[in-house]
Amino acid sequence: MADCLVDSNVLLDLVTQDDEWLEWSGAMLTEAGAHGRLLLNPVVYAEVSVDFERMEEFDEAFPATFIERRGLPWDAAFLAGKCFERYRRAGGTRTAPLPDFFIGAHAAVEHLTLLTRDPRRFRAYFPKLRIIAP
């Protein structure tokens, strides 16, 4: 059983009914859910919640029976900071830690598979991370 942390872009494909990615994201969620638990963390929750007026609407769209909420571990936050430091030293221009570093670090620290449509940064900063991506 391989638990899977789901990136924001995959859930947003469902919310927005994205013409290009809805079918892929739905199929990958079904496949990942057949082999383990689907998980989201507070960073993903925050990014996806923008499309909802109330928390109850989010919870109705993504009930805990479909996707489990998981807190961000402290060691994942530390790892995210270290990866962000590498990003900045390599010429990265953002001045605040990017959500991708928190998401990637969480998956890495808890040995989760990551389901995402945008694996580039995850592969660069978390090379041992198991990733499901197009």
Domains and CATH numbers, the chain: 4-132 (3.40.50.1010)
Are 48 and 11 contacting, i.e. CB atoms less than 8 angstroms apart?
yes
Question: Would you state the pLDDT for residue 7?
Answer: 98
Q: Work out the average pLDDT over 73-95.
A: 94
pLDDT tens-digit readout, 17-64: 999 999 999 999 999 999 999 999 999 999 999 999 999 999 999 999
Are 5 and 41 contacting, i.e. CB atoms less than 8 angstroms apart?
yes
pTM for this model (two decimals): 0.94
Question: Would you state the pLDDT for residue 49?
Answer: 96
Determine the residue type at 121.
R
